[in-house]
Chain A
Amino acid sequence: MLHYLFRRLGSLLATLLVASLVVFLVIEVVPGDPASYMLGMNAQADTVAALRSELGLDQSGPARYLQWISGMLQGDFGQSYTYRTPVADMVADRLWISLPLALYALFLSTVLAFPAGIWAASHRGGVADTTVMGFTQLGIAIPNFWFALLLVMFFAVNLGWFSAGGFAGWESGLFAGLKSLTLPAISLALPQAAILTRVMRSSLLDVLGEDFMRTARAKGLSERQALLRHALRNAMIPVLTIMGLQFSFLIAGAIIIENVFFLPGLGRLIFQSIAQRDLIVVESVVMLLVFAVVMVTFVIDLAYAWVDPRLRQQRR
């Protein structure tokens, strides 16, 4: 287990290192100089030069890369070019919207998908199964930002139950905050729930054919008891894998959904920063998201290896 841990840790660090190089290089080729962008068209050349040296833009590429990386490692994500505030503070503020939104969506999709998947699997081939599977086909095909528009049209414009966008702020209470995240979370959760339902169903169906399930039935458990007590637990591995993967989809999906609802989260921060040529913010936020995705994958891999010793051997 320890050997496996170190090997996975090594590849984790390598991935992060290469990813950081890629992000840095991509941002590096962005046309336009942030300093002259900040000072406008009529700036004097020496003012621009002074600002460039203040921002550290006059240093060589490798030097700036090392500075950025060592800063990131110490929790210093640099200073925003536009707002002159630490990027770490901006990210922390936005995280209080993006993270609850992702978790809220994950919660909704789980609450929807688990019963639906179990129900479909236990009525395989029946009307329930066909109905659920039909809905999942639809759920996968509906773009979440369009679903978001439909929700706004119905619940915000017609019924007036929710506001069409914006964030109430956590200071106005937990309920108000959650309420403004509800429509975004539902739109994020829909496609994920559809996928998760399908995985839950097919994973359960695989397990239902196993020998130990026959044993469970033979020893007198009802179909329902056997399903809940034995099948479900064994069907969870693929389901958990997909839930881990969905975390990265939720992050990416949130970028668009936050724009639909004008939520001041990380996704909107990236967009605004791109528009304002605030590259240090783009760089750091993208790197942070990649870090989150890689870490989640890492933790899931470790959890499997812990549960299932066979996976500690060479993967593949």
Chain B
Amino acid sequence: MKLRSLVPGALLVLLVVIAALLSYLWTPFDVATLDIRNKFASPGAEHWLGTDHLGRDILSMLMVGARTSIAVALVAVGIGMGVGVPLGLLAAARAHSWLDELIMRGNDLVFAFPALLIAIMITAVFGPGAINAIIAIGIFNIPVFARLTRGAAMSLWNREFILAARVAGKGPLRISLEHLLPNITNLLVVQGTIQFSLGILAEAGLSYVGLGAQPPIPSWGRMLAESQTLISLAPHLALFPGLAIVITVLGLNLLGDGLRDWLDPRLRRER
């Protein structure tokens, strides 16, 4: 019961990560080689998931595409944590000061933009591409982590062990790094998993509308976009990239739920 969602979630995520890592060493077929004679092959013994309109092997493309998705979402979470957590700690350490107010209002401002809208603006202005997609998604992770960190850190500032640290002469910086940060790591890991899955979805959406990773880098979103015009001809083209996204996102969400229950039983949402 306890590990109900942790194990399946971890297994799904592991499957995708292994597929992505394996693609560096080996894929069933080379994704850069076109084989027009074998285009639109149905799933079968040779091409397990079939081939696309240029005769490329779908399974190989999905494996390489996993790299793009994971890299974009992972770096975007990294940006969110790298900027958001220090901001949150700072806001909590200087609670109710002008600095705190500035940071929190800045957060509100970013939240006022529908996430996808600003992502589209950024990629449209600075040009489409994986890097700009990462930045666009990363910006939206910043307020999420800043708010979470501030809230959690604020509740810790009044606890006895922090008081003891202050009596011992530690400054706000050392208290934040040595006492607060270790105590909120669990929360950050769980939120990181959730933002990771949102990042995968966002990357897929951006590359679907042509604003994510550019050809020839395979990406799940663009595979779906390319499949759209061929939907009556080869439905399997639209099926597998979508399933890959669902498996990844589902795995990450289950993993997040499971980690939350496992790391912090008090937060358990069994009820």
B59 beta carbon closer than 8 Å to chain A: no
Which of A21-29, A41-49, A88-96, A180-188 contacts its partner? Answer: A21-29
B231 beta carbon closer than 8 Å to chain A: yes
B117 beta carbon closer than 8 Å to chain A: yes
A252 touches B112 (CB 8 A): no
Cβ-defined partner of B228 (8 Å) among A29, A138, A260: A260
The digit string for B110-132, where 1 denotes a CB below 8 A from any CB of A, is: 00111111001110110000000
B254 touches A255 (CB 8 A): no
State how many angstroms separate the Cβ of A198 from the closest Cβ of chain B.
Answer: 9
Most buried by B among A11, A14, A146, A256: A146
A140 beta carbon closer than 8 Å to chain B: yes
Interface of B, secondary structure class, is helix
Cβ-defined partner of B242 (8 Å) among A27, A150, A248, A256: A150
Given contact pairs A140-B249, A256-B208, A259-B209, A205 touches B238 in the complex (Cβ within 8 A): no
Q: Which residues of B contact A150 (CB under 8 A)?
A: 238, 242
A11 touches B125 (CB 8 A): no
B112 touches A11 (CB 8 A): no
Most buried by B among A14, A137, A157: A137
B113 touches A256 (CB 8 A): no
B245 touches A294 (CB 8 A): no
Cβ-defined partner of B246 (8 Å) among A138, A259, A260, A293: A138
Given contact pairs A145-B224, A260-B228, A286 touches B117 in the complex (Cβ within 8 A): yes
Q: Which residues of B contact A23 (CB under 8 A)?
A: 121
Give CA–CA (A33, B115) in the complex, Å.
27
* Total residue contacts A-B, CB cutoff 8 A: 115
A253 beta carbon closer than 8 Å to chain B: yes
Within 8 A of A (CB), among B42-86: none
B116 touches A252 (CB 8 A): yes
B204 touches A143 (CB 8 A): yes
Within 8 A of B (CB), among A264-294: 270-271, 274, 282, 286, 289-290, 293-294
The digit string for B242-271, where 1 denotes a CB below 8 A from any CB of A, is: 100110011001100000000000000101
State how many angstroms separate the Cβ of A226 from the closest Cβ of chain B.
Answer: 18
Most buried by B among A18, A140, A206, A252: A252
B108 beta carbon closer than 8 Å to chain A: yes
Give CA–CA (A143, B241) in the complex, Å.
11
Size of the B side of the interface (Cβ < 8 Å), in residues, is: 37
B116 touches A22 (CB 8 A): no
Give CA–CA (A170, B249) in the complex, Å.
38
A137 touches B238 (CB 8 A): no
Interface of A, secondary structure class, is helix
Give CA–CA (A140, B238) in the complex, Å.
19
Given contact pairs A150-B242, A152-B231, A293 touches B209 in the complex (Cβ within 8 A): no
Q: Which residues of B contact A145 (CB under 8 A)?
A: 205, 208, 224
Q: Which residues of B contact A202 (CB under 8 A)?
A: 269, 271
* A16 (CB) vs chain B CBs: closest residue: B112
A142 beta carbon closer than 8 Å to chain B: yes
A162 beta carbon closer than 8 Å to chain B: no
A153 beta carbon closer than 8 Å to chain B: yes
Q: Which residues of B contact A140 (CB under 8 A)?
A: 249, 253
Q: Which residues of B contact A253 (CB under 8 A)?
A: 116
Q: Which residues of B contact A248 (CB under 8 A)?
A: 114
* A138 (CB) vs chain B CBs: closest residue: B250
* A314 (CB) vs chain B CBs: closest residue: B96
Within 8 A of A (CB), among B227-243: 227-228, 231-232, 235, 238, 241-242
Most buried by A among B113, B204, B208, B245: B113
Could you list 4 further interchain pairs (A-B, Cβ under 8 angstroms) beyond the known A145-B205, A146-B204? A15-B108, A124-B271, A145-B224, A149-B238
10 A-B pairs with CB atoms under 8 Å apart are A18-B109, A19-B113, A26-B121, A30-B124, A140-B253, A142-B245, A149-B242, A255-B117, A270-B120, A286-B121
